[in-house]
Amino acid sequence: MQDILTGCDGWTAAGAVKCGGKSQLREALRLAVFAWLLSICEWVGVCAEDVKSTWSGGTAKISHQLKVSTMATFQLLFPLLVSCVAASAHPPRHLPPCQVVQMDVFCNDLSLRSAPVNLPHGVQMLDLSRNQVQNLTQETLAYHTGFHHLNLHSNKIHFIQPGLFKDMTDLKVLDLSKNHLNVFALSKINIGPLTAVESLDLSSNGLYTGMSDYFLADSPSLANLSLGSNSITKIAQDTFRGSQSLTKISLHNNVILEIEDGAFESLNRLSELDLSKNSITCITDFNLRNLKIFNLSKNSLELFQSTRSKDPHKLISLDLSENKMHYFPLLPINNKLEYLDVSRNQLQSINVTGNPENRTNVYFYELRYLDMSYNQLKSIPESFFYCMGFLEVLNVSNNCISSFSITNPRLLQTVKIINLSYNSLQTLTFGENTLQALEELFLQGNDLTTLDYQMFQRLPNIRHLHLQQNNLEICTSDQNHQNPPDCVSFSSITNLQFLILSENNLRTLPANVFANTPLKLLDLSQNPGLDMDKDSLSGLEHSLVHLLLRENNISSLNTDLLSLKSLRHIDLSTNQLTALPMWNKEFSIESLNLQHNNLVTLEYNTMIALEHSLKTLYMGSNPLSCCSNLGFLHMVQHSTVVVPDIETVTCIHEEYSEPVNIEKVTQEMCHRPRIQNYIIAVVLTALLMIIVLGLLVKCCHSRKRKHHRSFSA
Ligand SMILES: *[C@@H]1O[C@H](CO)[C@@H](O)[C@H](O)[C@H]1NC(C)=O
Ligand SMILES: *[C@@H]1O[C@H](CO)[C@@H](O)[C@H](O)[C@H]1NC(C)=O
Ligand SMILES: *[C@@H]1O[C@H](CO)[C@@H](O)[C@H](O)[C@H]1NC(C)=O
Ligand SMILES: *[C@@H]1O[C@H](CO)[C@@H](O)[C@H](O)[C@H]1NC(C)=O
Ligand SMILES: *[C@@H]1O[C@H](CO)[C@@H](O)[C@H](O)[C@H]1NC(C)=O
Ligand SMILES: *[C@@H]1O[C@H](CO)[C@@H](O)[C@H](O)[C@H]1NC(C)=O
């Protein structure tokens, strides 16, 4: 149920307040008439007091001094009355259109300085965000106190009436973000008790150190506090003394340099602390035992150290990304950590301090997610994983690791994703029976030339394999018997669905290389000169959906694609194709990319065969001929096929110096009854005329001669 709340209608539908517009108008009219009468009275010189009392008394009694001027007054008043009556048909002052949804009133974005005076009784939620409120007083809130939720985000509040919230015993959520509360704080006045408020947003208010005190001094129920995007530099010991129920604090995006000892320790219920985007350089003796989520991302941390106590800590998630740590953090011994992000730091090793003996003896029994990407790690010893029994995601991409090996089958038994991309890997070893749960392996951007040729066959759950930007070679079936072969085999990887082999300088793709591997996506792009056997994709008949062959310098496609019954998406862009293979109706392609090739004509029958399934076709940058592709043109112009790059699809027409956009080509442009035919017609006519003329001349001549003869005869 939703009504528009304006001055005069909507209220009754909202079932809250009866229409206030008409009575307001009547009151205005009454005042106007009164003012008019007063001035007339002064003009005619009668005692104003008399009129005032008479009028405000509401009786019709008019004092005798007035009688004389009654007629004149009436004459003067009449036009006014008429205009007032006319005005009442169109209420002169609309209240802005707030929306009412049950007991919630939405008055956002209306340039208001205060809430509408006629708020429904029992309103629970008032959204006054993005308005022009400056002074937050009882009046601005239309003297209502029953709110549960007040949203004053993005106003210009610089003054709050002290004690305003004292009587709001139901107010649970108060959003004062993006105002000018720093101005108010300068007056050093407490806003008074926030009796019931559980969630308070003071973000983006230009508050600096100490200013939050005026808002937090007496907020016993406060659980959720945001002080984000202010200018706080220091968290003093007593900052949260008046808000001991806090469970979640955000101080994101301040300039915190210092946290005094004990500032957070007294908050026994604190479970979530966001200190991201500050200037903290060092955390020592971390001991917030009840904290579950701690975000220290985007600081200048060089060190994170916990106390060496064996007390259980509840920390589940710790984000230390984008800092300046050289050493792995020293975490609580007795921890429940599940998520640890130390990406984008300056880790050179996994040592906890500079001293190699002081290795981590911390157990991560619960750790599921470990991100150490974008560091300077040169190696990760296998022993590092000894105490990470339940790790599922390991991201060590963008480091300088040249060798990685897991040989102990008891390590990383639950790992599903390993990201080793963008390192300088030359050797990668996964021992027998290791990584049995691994599903996704990212190895792109390394220097891998050789791998154990049966390496991927030993990973029973591998589904995604990203090997782009390496120098691998693919084994043919007979190479498998070589010992040891310097190539990798991709046949019989029983669960592999996504295989990316682009940019590997692959030269040949022999027959049957993917036999018994149920690939859905195969990317062989950017292997220029790749020589694909006719049967290189056999075995993929019922699985392959996506085939990518971009930038391979292919001039003709010899590989049998027709037998790939599941194939739906082909990318052949940036090659040297001059023609498409003969494809028939059984080929149900949905998207085809032919950009940047050498196509001049498109076989009409092939295009007709494709049309029944084709949804998207990329065709730009080909030297198409306009007039030998009329069938294709017709298809583009009349079928449902979408050509997203239509702007760049041009063709060559001999009568135009520039390529013509394909949408502009018409049938007529290619039927040429014009100049040439015209010239031929003219020439033929001329010839005919010459012949006729010649005949005529000859005829006349012979007659003359006959004449002459007869004459002479
Ligand atoms: C807000 O309150 C201050 C002080 O109470 C007053 O001086 C000022 O005029 C008020 N501003 C508005 C727009 O009501
Ligand atoms: C805490 O407050 C923030 C900002 O007002 C809000 O987005 C968030 O949903 C609140 N969380 C809880 C648990 O109340
Ligand atoms: C930590 O804060 C940063 C910056 O605000 C944010 O991008 C990141 O998602 C947060 N981390 C977690 C684990 O929520
Ligand atoms: C590391 O890998 C994980 C899982 O694949 C991913 O969610 C995360 O975004 C990656 N980290 C970075 C910094 O890219
Ligand atoms: C692996 O790391 C690279 C580079 O950090 C990133 O782009 C990619 O998204 C990561 N993979 C996953 C699955 O997160
Ligand atoms: C691409 O193929 C053409 C012949 O079709 C050849 O001249 C050229 O060298 C090839 N380019 C590359 C990068 O293989």
Domain boundary among 89, 111, 138: 89
Domain boundary among 55, 70, 89: 89
Domain boundary among 89, 119, 150: 89
- Examine residue 217 and state whether it is found in any structural domain, yes or no: no
- Examine residue 27 and state whether it is found in any structural domain, yes or no: yes
Choice from 419, 438, 439 to test ligand 4 binding pocket (greatest atom count within 8 A of CB) = 419
The tens digit of pLDDT for each residue in 415-460 reads 999 999 999 999 999 999 999 999 999 999 999 998 998 999 999 9
Element (H, E) at 680: helix 675-712
Choice from 113, 159, 183 to test ligand 1 binding pocket (greatest atom count within 8 A of CB) = 159
Determine the pLDDT at residue 199.
98
Q: Which residues line ligand 6 (CB under 6 A)?
A: 528-529, 553, 555, 576
- Examine residue 713 and state whether it is found in any structural domain, yes or no: no
Averaged pLDDT in 10-residue chunks for the chain of 713 residues: 32 28 41 42 36 34 38 42 40 62 92 90 94 94 94 96 94 97 93 94 95 94 97 95 96 96 94 98 93 98 91 96 95 94 95 58 88 96 91 97 95 96 96 95 95 92 97 78 77 96 94 94 96 93 96 90 93 93 85 94 84 91 88 80 90 87 84 60 73 72 52 36
373 lines ligand 5 (CB under 6 A): yes
CA of 252 to the centre of ligand 3 (A): 9
- Examine residue 308 and state whether it is found in any structural domain, yes or no: no
Determine the pLDDT at residue 536.
93
Residue 655 CA, chain-centre distance (Å), reads 47
Q: Please, are residues 3 and 100 in contact by the beta-carbon 8 Å criterion? A: yes
**Residue bearing the CA closest to ligand 1, atom 14:** 135
**Residue bearing the CA closest to ligand 5, atom 12:** 419
Q: How many CA atoms lie within 13 A of 263 on its CB side?
A: 14
419 lines ligand 5 (CB under 6 A): yes
| Structural domain containing residue 650 | 568-686
135 lines ligand 1 (CB under 6 A): yes
Q: How many CA atoms lie within 13 A of 281 on its CB side?
A: 3
Phi/psi region, residue 298 (left: phi>0; alpha: psi -120 to 50; beta: rest), is: left
CA of 161 to the centre of ligand 1 (A): 10
* Angle ∠(12,15,17) on CA atoms, nearest 5: 65
426 lines ligand 1 (CB under 6 A): no
299 lines ligand 3 (CB under 6 A): no
Picking from 432, 426, 500, the residue whose alpha carbon sits closest to that of residue 463 is 500
- Examine residue 591 and state whether it is found in any structural domain, yes or no: yes
317 lines ligand 3 (CB under 6 A): yes
CA of 600 to the centre of ligand 4 (A): 44
Residues 6+ apart with CB under 8 A from 31: none
Q: Please, are residues 264 and 287 in contact by the beta-carbon 8 Å criterion? A: no
**Residue bearing the CA closest to ligand 4, atom 2:** 395
- 3-state class (DSSP) for residue 321: coil
Structural domain tally of the chain?
Answer: 2
- Examine residue 277 and state whether it is found in any structural domain, yes or no: no
Which ligand approaches the C-alpha of residue 150 most closely?
2
CA of 581 to the centre of ligand 6 (A): 20
Q: CATH number for the domain including 597?
A: 3.80.10.10
Q: What is the DSSP string of 540-568?
A: -TTT--EEE-TTS--SS--S--TT-TT--
Q: What is the DSSP string of 252-273?
A: -SS---EE-TTTTTT-TT--EE
398 lines ligand 5 (CB under 6 A): yes
- Examine residue 350 and state whether it is found in any structural domain, yes or no: no
CA of 20 to the centre of ligand 4 (A): 59
323 lines ligand 5 (CB under 6 A): no
Residue 271 CA, chain-centre distance (Å), reads 29
Compute the distance between CA of residue 491 and CA of residue 60 in angstroms, rounded to an integer.
106
Q: Please, are residues 140 and 115 in contact by the beta-carbon 8 Å criterion? A: yes
CA of 270 to the centre of ligand 2 (A): 14
- Examine residue 553 and state whether it is found in any structural domain, yes or no: no
Choice from 296, 297, 369 to test ligand 3 binding pocket (greatest atom count within 8 A of CB) = 297
